[in-house]
Amino acid sequence: MKRILVCVKRVIDFNVRVRVKPDGSGVVTDGVKLSLNPFDEIALEEALRIKERGEAQEVVAVTIGPADCQQQLRTALAMGADRAIHVVHDGGVEPLTAARAFLQIIGREQPFLVLLGKQAIDDDNNQTGQMLAALWQRPQATFASKLELAGTTACVTREVDAGLETLEVDLPAVVTADLRLNEPRYVKLPDIMKAKKKPLDSVSLADLGVVPGARVRTVRTEPPAQRQRGIMVKDCGELVAELRKRGVL
């Protein structure tokens, strides 16, 4: 079966204003809206479009996290994923641990394409997709703004500093989605109801033979410093005078 595996992550919703805990030990998550990582949602939308074009037969969503992550997997199922896999883990997950867990899922599911968001908006690591491709020993194409499949190859257009770059990679491969790849669909109420009946399997990291490791330790979390208010200047001369006054020139 031609199967696409989409790796998704639960993050604080991008519309929520993040607040740092008073003791600096992290950010406040209690009572905060949590959603699918926006870049992962784009990756899922692309997988669904590929299936709707008849180029894939099944889309499987997988995530790693605590028990209540199933809510985000149900959202993925409501969008159109056929099945979901929940790798249950209560602690933090570093990119290498996530890549190793996804590799085990790949071994079970045998997808011809793995899609992820280019990064998660909570830690901005931009590492999991690249690490997964390296562990899987398959080609990778990151920051995809366009994806076209042709038999056993994929043509990926990606944004780089100099403009657009087009890559052709052999399948199976790992592709990470950029913001301009597509616009995710709106989930309707009937689809939410149907998603409750779709299969959602749970496994643990131990079941996959993956031992979580902590290679990075967060010492302290601090909010960004408040920016000074700007001023309006009438002309270039006034701008230069103000810059000299502040010691910039």
* pLDDT the model gives residue 166: 95
Confirm whether 153 is domain-assigned.
yes
Residue 206 in any domain: the answer is yes
Are the C-beta atoms of residues 8 and 37 closer than 8 Å to each other?
A: yes
Domain membership flag for residue 237? no
Number of domains the chain contains = 1
CATH of the domain at 203: 3.40.50.620
97 touches 206 (CB < 8 A): no
Q: Which helix (H) or strand (E) holds 37?
A: none
Structural domain includes residue 227: no
67-to-10, 30, 200, 204, 211 alpha-carbon distances in Å: 11, 15, 12, 11, 18
pLDDT (0 to 100) of residue 223 = 83
List the alpha helices (DSSP H) in the chain.
38-52, 70-79, 95-109, 128-136, 189-195, 236-245
Q: What are phi and psi of 51, to 5 degrees?
A: -65, -40
Query: How many CB atoms are closer than 10 A to CB 70?
Result: 18
- Please indicate, yes or no, if residue 31 is contained in any of the structural domains: yes
- Tell me how far the alpha carbon of residue 208 is from its chain's centroid: 21
Is the residue at 190 inside a domain? Answer: yes
Domain boundaries, position 25: 3-216
Single-letter amino acid code for the residue at 38: P
Helix/strand/coil for 134: helix
243 within a domain of the structure (yes/no) = no
According to DSSP, the residues that pair with 147 across neighbouring strands are 156
Regarding pTM above 0.95, the answer is no
In a domain, 229, yes or no: no
Per residue of the chain (249 residues), what is the pLDDT tens digit? 799 999 999 998 888 888 888 888 778 878 888 899 999 999 999 999 999 999 999 999 999 999 888 999 999 999 999 999 999 998 788 899 999 999 999 999 999 999 999 999 888 889 999 999 999 999 999 999 999 999 899 999 998 888 899 999 999 999 999 999 999 999 989 999 999 999 999 999 989 999 887 788 888 888 888 887 888 888 998 999 988 988 877
